[in-house]
Amino acid sequence: MKKRYEALLALNTHGKEDSSKDIIERLEKELAADGIAVEQVQRLERRELAYEHNHQKSAYYVNFIISAEPAQLEKLRAKLKLDAEVALQNYLVLPSAKAAA
């Protein structure tokens, strides 16, 4: 059964600050290709990280609201862990769309 998730990703755009739009579009296409429905994309902004991560002091944040099976989410986590442009990722289970309405 599909669940709704909030996926907060910190993108590594070091040296390519203008490419955040391209990275987000690529991630959207990859999610769709994996059968994950993207309900909403919130482009946040570049912010300082609370602690340095792999010599990176700031990241561009993007928030995806997605619907996926738990197995799909685990596959996504593993895939994004290997993606050099995704510095950090955090997921939160959201109430179903019916319960939210």
21-58: pLDDT as tens digits: 888 999 999 999 999 999 999 998 888 888 777 777 88
36 to 17, 22, 65: CA distances (angstroms): 27, 19, 10
pLDDT at 72 over 60: yes
64: number of Cβ within 10 Å:
21
For residue 99, pLDDT beyond 80 = no
Calculate the average pLDDT of the chain.
Answer: 88
* Region 71-81 average pLDDT: 94
The first and second tokens of residue 67, run together, are 């619907």
| Cα–Cα dist 81/92, whole Å | 17
Q: In this structure, what is the dihedral angle of CA atoms 93, 9, 62, 27, given to the nearest 10 degrees?
A: -100
- The predicted structure's pLDDT at residue 45: 85
Identity of the amino acid at 7 = A
Q: Quick one: pLDDT at residue 100?
A: 55
DSSP state of 50: E
Q: What is the structure's pLDDT at 58?
A: 85
